[in-house]
Amino acid sequence: MNTSEAPPARATPSPRPGEKLTDAVTARFHEAIESGAWPVGERIPVESELMAQVGAGRNTVREAIQSLVQAGLVRRHQGRGTYVTARSALVISVARRATSVDRRDGLELRAALDGAAAAIAARRRDDDDVAALEAALVERTRAWRSADRAARVSADVALHRAVAAATHNELLLELYDGLVPLYEEVLTADVDHDEDPHSAEHERLVRAVVEQRPDEAASAVTSILEPLIDDA
């Protein structure tokens, strides 16, 4: 990421009546995250750059960033910088709640959301989405050839997220991102097989989205998740 791009340089934010400068700067940083100028997973600009961009002092910028840390929107990594972890408080709230449910509830929620996302994606996907889905399918196949459970889970989630992204529905994708910790949790028990038990269904899912067959796309999701729900 080009960290000099966001938020764009402006005059020092003018607080509203009764609002502290720190709150105004924090609001600017929230804006950068919610707009996607600071994408999830990317490092935010360093402190000196932020000071220049918002025209505020070091303490003000530090307090504003600490507010984002406390809200769960960014996370500091020693020696690496501060990274965006979520686009909104909604995602944080959903993620925290999702990790407290049992496996069956989590799988049923995933089936409902993934099925809807697959059908919408099949109607709206564009050429970039097709390329992303094809790449995610290849990566999922590659990951399954290894014995790395974490890689298998990550690749599976990435493929389904690519389907969600192909809906071009920002709220749906935001909700999906909030549920990723839950998806990773419920998948952990299903990646220990020597052979991928859902390879054909994932292939069918991608083909249905690419070929714009909504009913088939939703059906493929059902085929993937219903057996897991029955065994939960």
* Distance between CA atoms of residues 90 and 183, nearest Å: 17
Most confident of 74-83, 84-93, 133-142, 194-203: 133-142
pTM score:
0.70
pLDDT tens digits along 30-71: 999 988 899 887 899 999 999 999 999 999 999 999 999 988
pLDDT tens digits along 70-112: 888 898 988 889 999 888 877 777 777 777 778 888 889 889 9
For 78-147, give the DSSP string.
TTTEEEE--SSHHHHHHHHHHTTS-HHHHHHHHHHHHHHHHHHHHHH--HHHHHHHHHHHHHHHHHHTSS
**Those residues with Cβ within 8 angstroms of residue 209's Cβ, 6 or more apart along the chain or in another chain:** 118, 121, 122, 125, 129, 133, 163, 166, 217
Which segment of 133-147, 171-185, 199-213 scores lowest on mean pLDDT?
A: 171-185
Q: Which domains does the chain have, with CATH numbers?
A: 21-86 (1.10.10.10), 91-231 (1.20.120.530)
At residue 73, the 3 state secondary structure works out as coil
pLDDT tens digits along 170-180: 889 888 887 88
* Distance between CA atoms of residues 211 and 87, nearest Å: 31
Tokens 């029955």, located at residue: 230
> Is 204 within 8 Å of 120 (Cβ atoms)?
no
Tokens 């709206």, located at residue: 124
How much is the pLDDT for 209? 98
